[in-house]
Structure 1
Amino acid sequence: MERIERDGLTITWLNGGVTHMDGGAMFGVVPKPLWSRKYPHNENNQIELRTDPFLIEKDGFKILVEAGIGNGRFNEKQKRNYGILEESAVETDLETLGVKPKEIDFVLMTHLHFDHVTGLVKEKNGEDRSVFDNAVIYTSQIEWNEMKNPNIRSQNTYWEQNRKAIESQIKTFVDEIEVIPGVKLIHTGGHSAGHSILTIEHSGETFIHLADIMPTHAHANVLWVLAYDDYPMTSIVAKEKWQAYARETDAYYLFYHDYKYRALKWNEQGEVVDAVERKIYRYEK
């Protein structure tokens, strides 16, 4: 497990499973000859997208960011369609760290699409149960409303089976919420109407998780947005704003989906000056 360690802060990535999604959809209108230089693809034109939550330990709190794809929540057709070759080992990884699921204080959800939220629920004795049953689960009010009432487009990703078992744990916010000092969820919209990002400020350092308005390092160009985005122009505006914030604060970017990087920092010339790489990944550049 890869980790960032500071005095009073640790960020540890867990294995939440993996999907493989269409590269064209993940890079929208960007031509394949351009995006394929930045991110590898397989013979089916799919790109590897990890679904790896990270655990923040700070001020005595244990905070999970995103939830992975869980175990046993997809049928065989869905596994083929979403390129699921590996399911979650989050609970096993937590056990390795000496952390029980019931000890998670907060789960921070940037949004509630199936590839982020499915790991919050598991089946036990024929019933769906919350995995982190003592945690407060934060997401934006707009996102939760859409989860409860998906439209004809979003019903393909907001699933009732991912909602019912966690309803009593949900707390929502409108613009932003500081969950503990220095750890904020901030509503941006873009990828979904209720999409949020995460910022962490600790001892003069800043970390930022732009979630699915910048799902991988290859999406750093502000114009490279997903065909899956409900509001692509909102994604572009939000990405411009928060990349400027990252430059001003010399921030590390944190990733949930990236096949290669857990975290990285760019300089003004766009060069990687520091990075935490996954120890194992399938594709070589």
Structure 2
Amino acid sequence: METLKVGKITLTWLNGGVTHLDGGAMFGVVPRPLWSKKYEVNELNQIQLRTDPILIQDGNRNILIESGIGNGKMSDKLKRNFGVIEESSIEKDLDKLGLTTKDIHIVLMTHMHFDHACGLTKWKNGKLVPTFENATIITSKVEWDEMRNPNIRSRNTYWKENWEAISEMVNPFNDHISITDEIEMIHTGGHSDGHSIIVLTSENERILHMADLMPTHAHQNPLWVMAYDDYPMQSIKEKQRWIEKGVQDHSWFIFYHDAEYRALKWNENGEITDSVKRS
């Protein structure tokens, strides 16, 4: 498990499983000869995308960013379609840290697409129950509303199996919310209508989790957005704003999906100046 300590905050990446999705869909209108120079692709034109939750520990709380793809939530057909070759082992990783799912206080959901939200529930005695029994689950109100009432496009990624069992645990917010003095969630839209990012600040150092606005380091160019984005121009607008701000502030950018980097810093020339790589 890779870790990053920034100020009083320690981040630890847990194994939430792995998918393989079409590279063309992940990079939208960007030609393969360009994006394939920046991110490894297999013979099926698929790229590896981790789904690894990030544990935030500040000495008082255990807070999770995203929830992984869970276990036993997908049929064999879905696993083939989404290139799932490994499911979640979050509970094993928590055990190595001396924790259980009961010790997670808050789960921050940037959005509720299946590859982020499957880990919120699990099968127990033939029924779906909350994975993190004592946690408050935080996502934007726009996202929570669409999760429960998806449209003709989004119903393929918002699954009732991922929300019905945790509906009483969800605390939706409008625009932005301060989770602690050091952690803030901000509604951006773009990838989904209710998509949010997470900003962590400790001892004058900053971490940006841009979630699926920038799923991998190869999506650094603001114009490189996914075909999966519901509102691509909003994605571009928010990427321009937050990448520029992050570079100016010497912020860490952290990733849930990236198969190579857990975290990195860029300078104004777009060069990586510091990084934590996945082992």
TM-score (norm 2): 0.99
2:6 touches 2:205 (CA, 8 Å); kept in 1? no
Amino acid in the other structure paired with 2:62: K
Unaligned ranges ≥5, structure 1? 280-285
- Provide the residue aligned with 2:247 in structure 1: 247
- Provide the residue aligned with 2:60 in structure 1: 60
CA distance in 1, matches of 2:7, 2:181: 15
- Provide the residue aligned with 2:188 in structure 1: 188
CA distance in 2, matches of 1:270, 1:8: 28
2:110 touches 2:211 (CA, 8 Å); kept in 1? yes
- Provide the residue aligned with 1:108 in structure 2: 108
SS in 2 for 1:110: coil
Give the total of aligned pairs: 279
CA distance in 2, matches of 1:99, 1:115: 23
- The structural deviation recorded for 1:5 is 2.1
CA distance in 1, matches of 2:191, 2:5: 30
CA distance in 2, matches of 1:42, 1:55: 30
- The structural deviation recorded for 1:33 is 0.4
CA distance in 1, matches of 2:119, 2:137: 13
SS in 2 for 1:172: strand
1:234-266 Cα distance to aligned partner (Å, 9 max, x none): 000000111122022110000000000000001
- The structural deviation recorded for 1:8 is 2.4
SS in 2 for 1:180: coil
2:7 touches 2:205 (CA, 8 Å); kept in 1? no
CA distance in 1, matches of 2:205, 2:137: 25
SS in 1 for 2:12: strand
Q: Determine whether 1:151 maps to 2:159.
A: no
Q: How do 1:97-176 residues align onto structure 2 when only pairs under 5 Å count?
A: 97-176=97-176
SS in 2 for 1:63: strand
Unaligned ranges ≥5, structure 2? none
1:204-245 Cα distance to aligned partner (Å, 9 max, x none): 100000000100000000000000000000000000111122
- Provide the residue aligned with 2:234 in structure 1: 234
- Provide the residue aligned with 1:268 in structure 2: 268
SS in 1 for 2:179: strand
- Provide the residue aligned with 2:41 in structure 1: 41
1:175-223 Cα distance to aligned partner (Å, 9 max, x none): 1001011101100000000000001000010000000010000000000
Q: Determine whether 1:94 maps to 2:63.
A: no
Aligned CA RMSD, in angstroms, stands at 0.7
